[in-house]
Amino acid sequence: MLEGGISDNYTYYCLLASRVALQASGRGTTFLELSAIALGAHPLPIPPIPEQHAITEYLDEHCDKLDLLIAKKRGLIEKLREKRSALISQTVTRGLPPEAARAAGLNPLPNLKPSGVEWIGDIPEHWQLLSIGRIASEIQTGPFGAQLHQRDYIDDGIPLINPIHLRDEGIVADDQDTVSEGTADRLARYQLNSGDIVFARRGDIGRCALVSDRESGWLCGTGSMIVRLGKGDPQYFARVFRSTGFAGRLELNAVGTTMLNLSPAIIGKMTVPLPPDTEQHSITAFIDLEVGKIDRLIQRVEQAIARLSEYRTALITAAVTGKIDVREAVSAGAPAALAAEG
């Protein structure tokens, strides 16, 4: 029990309900900091102790139910992501499933042969296995040392792409990690072309993205590496490189103790499956279609979680501000909104 006749649990819920107001009182640019004075000056509604206990009992019951439902939905998202990863890995190493293969005019049940590579397993016998060094026309790391200084960075220039910019299988530039046209011309050998695949060279090994027309002309950053293909469909290989098996093998082959690092030699020695060109295109189209369905399901579940979280916040606020008469509601069932979200 805190001083002034207010219980710990009730205070906790009051502070949750006051989160927006407390954030507005915070100070700082990199991160918000709330002073003890600002926190101490924040007013809290203080009903009689029996009513505080009734409010916390009510919120404990219904927040627990909401938290359980949110946890189940997060578990569903995890399963959908696992399904997404498995679908990509299976398709880039075994080819299309029978129905999709028939629709694409391909042999639905090709004979298989052992690849001799653990993460790949058996592959269709008409596929090839090649090292990335034989598929790529160039494997290039970003600029090192004296090639790029902190003073070379400007705002709103030509973006440099480092691992932090490789997000959600795409490239998200930062307008502060940019250089002038003059610096970009000097670093022209590190320029990205449409169809290149950019890898995280250090840290988050396995993160990569396909360069689109939009990013053509941007620069590979110090922490990244360009793989420029000489044969094959870049979209197909971007999916191979993002598969869990390939990423796991990269981590095993990376060097370093404090931070894992990749080199062009490590990337170049990695073996990948190479279907015929037409089959690569069919595989890419199939993966895009099926992954799109899974991503839309994930998005809907995430939206449901957001609604539940908003409802939880609103419920807490309503209870601690007296908008719900908890004396009558403590023994009632879960709110109707829970059933609707289930």
d(CA 211, CA 227): 10
**Between residues 1 and 189, which one has the greater pLDDT?**
189
What confidence tier does 34 reach under pLDDT thresholds 50, 70, 90? very low
Average pLDDT over residues 131-152: 91
Residue (of 137, 134, 234, 141) closest to 194 by Cα position = 234
What's residue 328's pLDDT?
Answer: 63
What confidence tier does 341 reach under pLDDT thresholds 50, 70, 90? low
Does the pLDDT of residue 38 top 90, yes or no? no
CB 52 within 8 A of CB 10: yes
> Which residues of 189-241 form beta strands (DSSP E)?
197-200, 208-210, 219-220, 224-229
**Between residues 121 and 342, which one has the greater pLDDT?**
121
What's residue 296's pLDDT?
Answer: 97
CB 224 within 8 A of CB 199: yes
* pTM for the whole structure: 0.80
Of 36-45, 157-166, 171-180, the range with the lowest mean pLDDT is: 36-45
3-state secondary structure of 43: coil
What's residue 82's pLDDT?
Answer: 96
* pLDDT above 70 as % of the chain: 87
Q: Count the Cβ atoms, other than its own, within 10 Å of residue 199.
A: 24
Does the pLDDT of residue 187 top 90, yes or no? yes
What confidence tier does 12 reach under pLDDT thresholds 50, 70, 90? confident
Give CATH superfamily name and number for 128-273: DNA methylase specificity domains (3.90.220.20)
What's residue 1's pLDDT?
Answer: 44
DSSP assignment of 248-267, as one string?
HHHHHH-B-SSS-B--HHHH
Indicate the average pLDDT of the chain. 87
Average pLDDT over residues 208-223: 95
CB 161 within 8 A of CB 217: no
d(CA 341, CA 51): 29
pLDDT in tens, 315-335: 998 998 888 877 665 545 545
User: In the sheet that 158-161 helps form, which strands lie side by side, from edge to edge?
Assistant: 153-154, 178-179, 158-161, 219-220
As a whole number of Å, the CA-based R_g of the chain is 27
- CA-to-CA dists, residue 305 to 76, 131, 137, 159, 188, angstroms: 11, 43, 46, 35, 46
What confidence tier does 81 reach under pLDDT thresholds 50, 70, 90? very high
**Between residues 283 and 153, which one has the greater pLDDT?**
283
Angle at which helices 234-242 and 277-320 pack, to 10 degrees?
50
**Between residues 204 and 294, which one has the greater pLDDT?**
294
pLDDT in tens, 17-32: 876 555 555 455 545 5
What's residue 264's pLDDT?
Answer: 93
Of 4-18, 191-205, 219-233, 242-256, the range with the lowest mean pLDDT is: 4-18
What's residue 75's pLDDT?
Answer: 98
d(CA 193, CA 197): 9
DSSP assignment of 162-187, as one string?
-GGGEETTEE---TTSEE-HHHHHHT
What's residue 41's pLDDT?
Answer: 55
CA 334 to chain centre: 33
What's residue 325's pLDDT?
Answer: 78
The domain ranges of the chain are: 8-76+298-341, 128-273
d(CA 143, CA 223): 9
pLDDT in tens, 302-312: 999 999 999 99
What's residue 35's pLDDT?
Answer: 53
d(CA 97, CA 93): 11
Average pLDDT over residues 162-177: 91
Q: Cα torsion at 120, 125, 128, 130 (round to 10°)?
A: 40
What's residue 15's pLDDT?
Answer: 83
What's residue 335's pLDDT?
Answer: 53
